[in-house]
A and B are shown apart, each in its own frame.
Chain A
């Protein structure tokens, strides 16, 4: 299986900050990467797919980039509703696999 490694595992930030989360695949996955946001007790919500395509309805402060093995999720100006855990997921090779998650906490 392809291993997905996220960093950092947690980050403390303030409202208005720019936050960047990275995800590295153990082998090349082209651009088949998705990002999800998960709040406590809730299902994951798709934010970005194909590395950089914003899912319908997701605010434009979220953006994704990368290809091959290295990817980033950027929140340009953190809002109160963005405090959550973020997961990456590779969709190139079966079975799809997920990163361990990055918890974005209030500083």
Chain B
């Protein structure tokens, strides 16, 4: 059973960089695309971007200038960096697996981690 677990600081100051890591267990990170998705409190889901295990990426144009996603296959982990954060970036951040390259949907999700942007 594949499991994903997000980790990182729960509180980030405005203008700083949010950094999260997703650790994949019960399966290999190889062969798949891995995504970050967020959900502001009480609101809907927003797609951030993905990384293929070989390192290619694609980001939501609405966040592209501030997002970097990287992968470390030796640790079965991938990471998210979001720069210049504001209160609008306060959300639960999820990592998820896209099971097929032919369509965008997500079969395994992490439990999510709340990141609050506040001074």
Judge if A49 is at the interface, Cβ distance under 8 Å: yes
- B98 to nearest A CB, angstroms? 9
Residues from chain A with a CB closer than 8 A to the CB of B105 are 32, 34, 46, 49, 89, 91, 96
Main secondary structure of the interface of B (DSSP, over half): loop
Asked whether, in the complex, the Cβ of B112 is within 8 Å of the Cβ of A101, the reply is: no
- B92 to nearest A CB, angstroms? 9
Asked whether, in the complex, the Cβ of A101 is within 8 Å of the Cβ of B44, the reply is: yes
Of the candidates B96, B104, B110, which one forms a contact with A32 in the assembled complex, judged by CB atoms under 8 Å apart?
Answer: B104
Minimum CB distance partner of B108 in chain A: A46
Instruction: Please give the number of chain A residues whose Cβ is less than 8 angstroms from any Cβ of chain B in the complex.
Output: 24
**CB within 8 Å of A: which B46-61 residues:** 46-47, 49, 58, 60-61
The CA-CA distance from A94 to B105 in the complex, in Å, is: 11
